Amino acid sequence: MTRQELIALIRQRQSFLCVGLDTDLNKIPELLKGQPDAAFKFNKAIIDATIDYTVAYKPNLAFYEAMGIEGLRQLKLTTDYLHSLDKPAFLIADAKRGDIGNTSKSYAKAFLSPEGDFDFDSLTIAPYMGEDSVTPFLAYENKFVILLALTSNKGAFDFQLSVNKENGQRLFENVLQRSLDWGNPDNMMYVVGATKADMLTDVRKIVPDSFLLVPGVGAQGGSLEEVCRYGMNKDCGLLVNSSRGIIYASNGEDFAERAGQEAQKLQLQMAQAMKEHGVL
Amino acid sequence: MTRQELIALIRQRQSFLCVGLDTDLNKIPELLKGQPDAAFKFNKAIIDATIDYTVAYKPNLAFYEAMGIEGLRQLKLTTDYLHSLDKPAFLIADAKRGDIGNTSKSYAKAFLSPEGDFDFDSLTIAPYMGEDSVTPFLAYENKFVILLALTSNKGAFDFQLSVNKENGQRLFENVLQRSLDWGNPDNMMYVVGATKADMLTDVRKIVPDSFLLVPGVGAQGGSLEEVCRYGMNKDCGLLVNSSRGIIYASNGEDFAERAGQEAQKLQLQMAQAMKEHGVL
């Protein structure tokens, strides 16, 4: 999916919601537990119930790898299902990969190649290893690297905010700045946690046009209103992720229906915000 | 495997060699190409030929993920085979994972759990997301986190050497320093590239007793002699990795034999270095 197609989809669905498919076999409803392909069945029900209110899905690889090879098979069933639908969605592999150039090429093939098992539109990348750990992912046309800049967790304060002696910038700002030499808004996005919404102003000074993937609204305590105030641009420029608040809204037979209701609630707030900021 | 068992193994085999199983279906010998389980057959032959000269094996996950789900099945065949041998080896998942605490728990389960598909002794972790992205991996007894500190690639210069305005330390030094609050030499090691051997002195000031996993000798240009001069401690304290130089030493029918010869060459140099530094 190209950036222009993503922007059109956001306008059409009046939503910039990303549903995090952090599917944990211990947390899915009792009625699915023990069934064959339980993780996929759960994902399929969540997707069917939410896709009208959602523009993106983001499975976090950790939850599938924790189920072993079997988990990756169920992830493939999920991406195959998403590719089969008439309704498009932007697919994010939340994998936080990154390695030396030679090796990153292999990771890029694993997640982004149209001939691979998954054919994701994008994947998240950790920037610690620098340029050659990032650029191999940019070789696939109409696909995106989503670079970690400022994450939503407590550990973000350990290194991401440390100030560089030479240029006075914080590490996450240095990451944003350096990345301008590697990619552009058509092939690169950034992770910025909703729990640090006030810093979105600083982020937007460096990457005004890029999409930001924003986790941390809901369970982690971030505010959608603040994210929009400081982070929205003329194309919207945001994908706001919610995982637990949607997929585990209910643990009963109504889990999919409740997930759909939670997604719709966020979609309505998002439509309102886009109107207020002149995007719609 | 505990740290003491690893040290005993190093003394017994007179080696601190780690063989990087970066198995790429495009690079394996012609006689294996197209065979079922070709990657596993290649790995098994390499392991059989090198294990007497080696203390550790390090498959890089990227190469297996690039083969899709099938590649992970072949990785499992490989770790199952290693677990079945009478001769022990320290198993490293070169996965460079790291995510928020909740999610890192799932990655830890995937790679380190004795009930999981792989049961690795350790895995590599990227430190960008800080404390809660690292500590969940320390929950498994007698297993190790191997934290990226100073990597062997060109991109290492982008962020890892940036000097912190407050404490005057470079980022990799801040990572080492902060990690002392999270783990200890019995559950934590560090990646330090052989291409930056002169900085091993600075690394050893902060983590004198910890094991260092050192890639970059051979194809990437690092010197074993310099790594030993600046990095070896009284327990050896080093695992030096070689991948391409061993596993692709020959592309013919003699590939395993040649891999064994290359591993033995390094083992002899390593035994000599340990004698010179009083480890043996």
Q: What secondary structure does DSSP assign to B59-114, as a single string? A: -BHHHHHTT-HHHHHHHHHHHHHHHHSSS--EEEEEEEE---HHHHHHHHHHHH-T
The pLDDT score that the predictor gives to residue A102 is 87
Q: What are phi and psi of A198, to 5 degrees?
A: -65, -25
Residue B222 has pLDDT above 90, yes or no: no
Contact state of B130 with A22 under an 8 Å Cβ cutoff: no
Q: Rounded to an integer, what distance in angstroms lies between the CA atom of residue B202 and that of residue B220?
A: 21
Q: Rounded to an integer, what distance in angstroms lies between the CA atom of residue A186 and that of residue A3?
A: 6
Contact state of B101 with A153 under an 8 Å Cβ cutoff: yes
Is B96 one of the catalytic residues?
yes
B244 touching chain A per CB within 8 A:
no
Residue B273 CB coordination number (10 Å) = 21
| SS3 category, B254 | coil
Q: Rounded to an integer, what distance in angstroms lies between the CA atom of residue A128 and that of residue B68?
A: 25
Q: Which residues of A touch B104 (CB under 8 A)?
A: 62
Mutation choice for B interface testing from A129, A162, A248 by most B CBs within 10 A: A129
Q: Tens of pLDDT along B82-127?
A: 999 999 999 999 999 999 998 999 999 999 999 999 999 999 999 9
Contact state of A103 with B63 under an 8 Å Cβ cutoff: yes
Show Cβ contacts of residue A190 under 8 Å, excluding neighbours closer than 6 positions.
A146, A147, A148, A149, A176, A179, A203, A207, A210, A211, A212, A213
Residue A242 has pLDDT above 80, yes or no: yes
A191 close to A147: Cβ distance less than 8 angstroms: yes
What mean pLDDT is predicted for residues A24-44?
A: 96
Q: Rounded to an integer, what distance in angstroms lies between the CA atom of residue B240 and that of residue B216?
A: 8
Q: Which residues of A touch B134 (CB under 8 A)?
A: 155
The pLDDT score that the predictor gives to residue B237 is 98
Q: Tens of pLDDT along A53-74?
A: 999 999 999 999 999 999 999 9
Residue B221 has pLDDT above 90, yes or no: no
Mutation choice for A interface testing from B60, B72, B73, B100 by most A CBs within 10 A: B100
Contact state of B129 with A97 under an 8 Å Cβ cutoff: no
The C-alpha angle with vertex A204 and arms to A201 and A210, in degrees rounded to 5, equals 150
Cα dist from A160 to A100, A152, A156, A269, whole Å: 21, 11, 6, 30
Which of B62, B99, B127 is opposite residue A110, by nearest beta carbon? B62
Task: Look at the pTM and tell me if it is higher than 0.95.
Answer: yes
- In the structure, what pLDDT confidence band is assigned to residue B217 with cuts at 50, 70 and 90? confident
Q: Tens of pLDDT along A206-234?
A: 999 999 999 988 777 789 999 999 999 99
A104 touching chain B per CB within 8 A:
yes
Residue A275: closest CA among A1, A16, A6: A16
The Cα of A212 is separated from the nearest Cα of chain B by a number of Å equal to: 17
Please give the residue of chain B at the shortest CA–CA distance from A119: B68
What mean pLDDT is predicted for residues B245-267?
A: 97
Q: Up-side HSE of residue A136: CA atoms within 13 Å toward CB?
A: 24
Buried (b) or exposed (e) across A22-44, using 16+ Cβ within 10 A? bbbbeebbeebeeeeebbbbbbb
A60 touching chain B per CB within 8 A:
yes
Query: Which residues numbered 152-211 in B keep a CB inside 8 Å of some CB on A?
Result: 152-160, 162-166, 168, 171, 174-175, 178
Contact state of A68 with B110 under an 8 Å Cβ cutoff: yes
Please give the residue of chain A at the shortest CA–CA distance from B171: A159
Contact state of A99 with B165 under an 8 Å Cβ cutoff: no
Token readout for A255 is: 């889990």
For chain A, helix (H) and strand (E) counts, in that order, are 12, 8
| SS3 category, A241 | strand
Show Cβ contacts of residue B176 under 8 Å, excluding neighbours closer than 6 positions.
B149, B190, B203, B206, B207
B267 close to B13: Cβ distance less than 8 angstroms: yes
Token readout for B155 is: 């991109």
Burial zone of A152 (CB within 10 Å; 0-12 exposed, 13-18 middle, 19+ buried) = buried
Q: Which residues of A touch B76 (CB under 8 A)?
A: 69
At B206, which amino acid appears? I
Residue B106: closest CA among B137, B85, B81, B69: B137
